[in-house]
A = this chain, B = another copy of it.
Amino acid sequence: MAKRSAPSGFRDFLPEQYRKRQELIRRIREVYESFGYEGMDTPALENLSVFQGKGGGENEKLMFHVLKRGADLQRALEKGGNELSDTALRFDLTVPLARFYATHRSELPTIFKRYQMGPVWRAERPQYGRFREFVQCDVDVLGSSSMAVEADVLSATTTALARLGFTGLTVRLNSRPLLHMLGDSFGTTQSAQFFTVLDKLDKITVEEAKIELQQCGCAEGKVQELLEYRLAVSKFAPAALLEDLSRKLDERAKPFVEQLKEILALTPPLPSGQLVFDPFLARGMDYYTGPIFEVAAEGVPFSLAGGGRFDGLVDKIAGTKPGPQGGVPACGFSIGFERVFTLMEERGMFAAEQRGADVLLVSSGQPESDPSAPMRLADELRKAGLKVDVFPGVAKPVQHFAYAEQKCIPFAIRLGHQPETFIVRTLSTREDVQKSKADLIAYLLERRT
């Protein structure tokens, strides 16, 4: 017997959930398109060489590999099974974007503003709230080094979140190069590990933090200093904090401080929120090269979206040398689709109409003179703009009504024994009225809401 359920960590979507997910996709898309971002898509699979060593960090280890086939597989097995696969399912939408841009650059606008929404796959350990197939929702701009790009993706993403109904948004802004320098100033030698510790600093005890920071190379005194500075920064306004950091670090920090100042100046007031500078914001991916950012909403203990600048990733994939101006500039922002979906479901933030149709048509139970009468009537009602479900075959009224309730259909029409008369039942009140065909459509349209 076949296993009856989806593979572990994978989900089915029943109609109610499916409708809500489609609503979320539609609402985010509308905002991104209103900002001039264009939709595009890449395949589920990419050549392995595209994914390997592109800064995907932990996610690269979680790739699902697709098995070679036929003679190719046979050869791989004979060689000891080291090259069983040369493609993998995408683990994010950023690395495939870089490959897409490398492939199609000449067909794209000089500055390419795109959005992409689609599934990605990671072999996460199945656990609550973690899925092996989940939707990502990214906006990116390729081809411009201007900090106006950062301001644009920030505005678009916070506008989308505000439009979905989230309030009290806080965007935290930092810069990867500045974070490196800040780490250096505290004596860290292991920057990847340092970023990981920063990421979980709020979830561990001070004692644990001290031990972990020392493992990154910070001397004991420096650890204390770092933790105190971290507490102090939350009291500064963004501009003052940037000045302070600029004094703290050396000359090399100046251009990156300027970048953040520019973002702060270019960004108009956020809808329902604030933009702050957080010199300790780290972000997970290795491919970030400039400003990085994250958005949280009031009352939500995790970020709803994150992103940053990743200049040079395209060059890495295209195998091109960055020119004198540097590599292909790129910057993006990704909304945590599944988190946002779960929150909106829990909080009842969906507007989705849940009815499977406006009207259910059922036959009279008598052999009709014209057996196609129910479907002909359905056709007329649909032309008037109604969604009409025809109950197939003959059944008892109780079965019709149960079916209409299961699908949240508000009205059922029974074809009467006289031709051209119809009995309309309002399911919620169980009230029946008889209507002539002439009155039927007006009656339904009026009550549909």
Residues of A within 8 A of B (CB): 1-7, 10-15, 18-19, 22, 33-36, 38-47, 49-50, 52, 64-67, 69, 77, 81, 84-85, 87, 89, 99-100, 102-104, 107-111, 113-114, 119, 121, 123, 133, 141, 144-149, 151-152, 155, 262, 265-268, 316-319, 356-357, 360, 371-372, 374-376, 378-379, 382, 386-394, 399, 402-403, 406-407, 409
Contacts and interface: CB of A to CB of B under 8 A. Distances in A.
Given A18-B41, A44-B133, A152-B390, 5 more contacts: A1-B318, A2-B99, A15-B39, A69-B123, A268-B379
Nearest to A320: B1
6 contacts: A2-B318, A2-B319, A44-B89, A45-B64, A66-B89, A109-B406
Chain A at the B interface: SS class: mixed
Contact of A67 (B66, B77, B317): B66
Contacts of A89: 44, 66
A7 B46 contact: yes
B393 A49 contact: no
B375 A268 contact: yes
Contacts of A11: 43
A123 B316 CA distance: 29
A105 B119 CA distance: 25
A80 to B, nearest CB: 8
Contacts of A409: 36
Contacts of A42: 6, 12-13
A36 B99 contact: no
A317 B52 CA distance: 38
Contacts of A67: 64-67, 84-85
Nearest to A29: B22
Contacts of A69: 64-65, 123
A35 B376 contact: no
A107 B5 CA distance: 14
